[in-house]
Structure 1
Amino acid sequence: MTAITREFLLRKPFNDFRNYPYGFSRSGDFSIRESDALTQYGCLITALLQDELKPSCDEDISLLASARGEQAPVTVVEKAWAKYQARIHRPKVASMYGKGKLSDEDFGYSTDSEDDLIVED
């Protein structure tokens, strides 16, 4: 098996088909520069975060520290990765009409058995 190098990861395009099935540039969430930065550096950042590749230069150390939240993002790549992480980890909306499940208390009904009307046939 070949060793993963930094140059190989920079040539390999990064895609997230689960969250962005049509690509970063067509999503409307990212600018052209941000989508290009994610596509080019996404595999490298992922490999650094998963310890598949050790940081070999100052840029890698800065990318890793920013991705872990140890420092504020400074470069376009770091800001794009932080924005990407914020977008994929945002809370999902259950329904456009409100909560997912409604109970009787939401409508003002009591759940006490004393107030229930029992009809026997």
Structure 2
Amino acid sequence: MSNDISLLRQAFVSQRQFYDDNNFPRGFSRCGNFTLLEASILEQHGVVLKALFDKTLAPQNAIQEQFVDVVCSAKEPTNPIEKTWLKYLKLTTCKSKFHTLFGRSKISSQLPINQEDYSESDTV
């Protein structure tokens, strides 16, 4: 298994580390969303993975071609690098609904007002 990972990692070698300060300002390993292996994959190979995903870099080998097929064609991921990148995309591109404690409530405006609850002394 570790030999397979090292072969995969060699297929996505990058000279620069990948950072996403907009979505993960504290880093991948400290955000709580990624395992140490996943954080390492993103930091060491994210530049190449992003370029392949954005199509600013053409695949250079069969492993990169498979990666592009997985992330662009919704095929099932078969290795940790593909799984990690899909997890990264899910966390950064799928925006969940925003809920707030402030705002109007339809329930309160639809409640019937009971006149017995109010006396004339309450209205000054």
TM-score normalised to the size of structure 2? 0.69
CA RMSD of aligned residues (A): 2.8
CA, structure 1 residues 80+106, in 2 after alignment: closer, same or farther (shift >3 Å)?
farther
Which of 30-39 and 100-109 deviates more? 100-109
Spell out the pairing of 1:62-81 with structure 2 (5 A cutoff). Answer: 62-81=66-85
Q: Mean Cα displacement is larger for which, 43-52 or 8-17?
A: 8-17
- Residues 37 and 80, structure 1, Cα contact 8 Å, conserved in 2: yes
**Tell me, what secondary structure is at the counterpart of 1:28?**
coil
Higher helix residue share = 2
Partner of 2:43: 39
Separation (CA, whole Å) in 2 of partners of 1:93 and 1:47: 29
Structure 1 contact 9–43 (Cα < 8 Å) conserved: no
Partner of 1:102: 104
CA contact (8 A) 2:71 2:86 kept: yes
8 Å contact from structure 1 (residues 63, 78) kept in 2? yes
Residues 7/33 of structure 1: CA separation in 2 closer, same or farther (3 Å cut): closer
Tell which structure's C-alpha radius of gyration is larger.
2
Within 2, Cα distance between the matches of 1:89 and 1:106? 35
Normalised TM-score (structure 1): 0.70
Kindly provide the CA deviation profile for residues 58-80 of structure 1, in whole angstroms up to 9, marking residues without a partner as x: 11101111221431111111111
State the shift of 1:8 in Å. 9.5
The Cα of 1:94 is off from its aligned counterpart by 2.6
Cα distance between partner residues in 1 of 2:99 and 2:66: 39
Q: CA deviation at 1:39?
A: 1.1
Partner secondary structure for residue 11 of structure 1: coil
Answer yes or no: is 1:88 the counterpart of 2:92: yes
Partner residue, 2:3: none
How many residue pairs were aligned? Answer: 103
Secondary structure class of the residue paired with 1:102: coil
**Structure 1: runs of 5+ lacking an equivalent:** 1-5, 110-121
